[in-house]
């Protein structure tokens, strides 16, 4: 997969894309990531990327021309998906992450200032918001998209941490995890995890996931795929 990011602040991406999983994915050629400075696509003397809004009002608006020029230059294929990060977009979730992960080329425009000239949306396949709060710009949302998409690409996660087991992939939140020591500050690791009995451990984990999801995100249970045993367990929690 190839990901291109259009931004006014390319230096913001230096740290996050050069550490941990994203670095490994790039080093192993599982993804190519290119960060483009929108200013490089201006041809006027002052390299202007924003301007006052028609009709007045506070703030500046990102100009359409440099973004059109950049996309014209970068877009490889008709199937390339172009997304714009904006608080006005479709709210991001795991399902949308899988959708983006299936594209050969993803172009992310990091929106900024008070907005982007509406004519840019002609080039955009999806406007995406990472949640109902407002950030100073679209760079952090762009990083969120990249991180969540790259970890879904084949080979990025090791077999044991496979993305298919994620909470949200199973439709449930994950249950509690423990590591050594067995007793810490008087708090013990649940007996069953020390038992070595794999079926009991799997059942216990499933029940913890069900319990936690019911307590914290009951809305997720409505879409989760549940066995009769799961349904019986959830019923028992109500007694
Ligand atoms: N730009 C500013 N806030 C945003 C948000 N919540 N999601 C996407 N882009 C944004």
Residue closest to 137 by CA, chosen among 109, 107, 113: 113
Cα 147 off chain centre by:
6
- Counting from 1 in the atom list of ligand 1, the atom nearest the Cα of 92 is 7
Cα(116) to ligand 1 centroid in Å equals 12
Q: Contact at 8 Å (CB) between 156 and 21?
A: yes
141 within ligand 1 shell (Cβ under 6 A): yes
Distance CA 73, CA 120 (A): 15
CATH number of 172-238: 1.10.1270.20
138 within ligand 1 shell (Cβ under 6 A): yes
Distance CA 219, CA 206 (A): 17
Helix ranges (H only) for 102-152 are: 139-150
Q: Where are the domains of the chain?
A: 2-150, 172-238
pLDDT 10s digits, 171-204: 999 999 999 999 999 999 999 999 999 999 999 9
Distance CA 144, CA 162 (A): 19
111 within ligand 1 shell (Cβ under 6 A): yes
Residue closest to 128 by CA, chosen among 176, 91, 158: 91
pTM: 0.93
The helix or strand, by DSSP H or E, that contains position 62, with its residue range, turns out to be strand 61-62
pLDDT: which is higher, 168 or 152? 152
Cα(144) to ligand 1 centroid in Å equals 11
Cα(110) to ligand 1 centroid in Å equals 9
SS percent in the chain: helix, strand, coil, step 5: 40, 20, 40
pLDDT 10s digits, 58-78: 999 999 999 999 999 999 999
CATH number of 2-150: 3.40.1280.10
Indicate whether 232 pLDDT > 70.
Answer: yes
Residue 56 banded pLDDT, cuts 50, 70, 90: very high
* Residue in 96, 135, 136, 145 to alter for ligand 1 test, most ligand atoms within 8 A of Cβ: 135
């Amino acid at each position: 997969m190839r990901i291109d990011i259009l931004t006014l602040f390319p230096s913001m991406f230096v740290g996050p894309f050069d550490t941990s999983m994203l670095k490994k994915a790039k080093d192993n050629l599982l993804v190519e990531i290119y960060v483009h400075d929108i200013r490089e696509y201006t041809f006027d003397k002052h390299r202007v990327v924003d301007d006052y809004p028609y009709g007045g009002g506070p703030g500046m608006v990102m100009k359409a021309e440099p973004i059109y020029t950049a996309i014209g230059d970068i877009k490889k294929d008709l199937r390339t998906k172009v997304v714009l990060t904006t608080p006005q977009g479709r709210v991001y979730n795991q399902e949308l992450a899988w959708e983006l992960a299936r594209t050969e080329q993803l172009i992310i425009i990091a929106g900024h200032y008070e907005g982007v000239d509406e004519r840019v949306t002609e080039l955009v396949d999806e406007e995406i918001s990472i949640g109902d709060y407002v950030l100073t710009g679209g760079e952090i949302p762009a990083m969120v998209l990249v991180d969540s998409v790259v970890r879904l690409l084949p080979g990025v996660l090791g077999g044991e941490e496979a993305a298919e087991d994620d909470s949200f992939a199973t439709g449930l939140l994950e249950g509690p995890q423990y590591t050594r020591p067995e007793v810490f500050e008087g708090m013990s690791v649940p007996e069953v995890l020390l038992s070595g009995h794999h079926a009991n451990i799997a059942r216990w984990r499933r029940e913890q996931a069900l319990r936690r999801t019911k307590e914290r995100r009951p809305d997720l249970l409505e879409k989760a795929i549940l066995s009769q045993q799961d349904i019986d367990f959830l019923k028992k929690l109500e007694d």
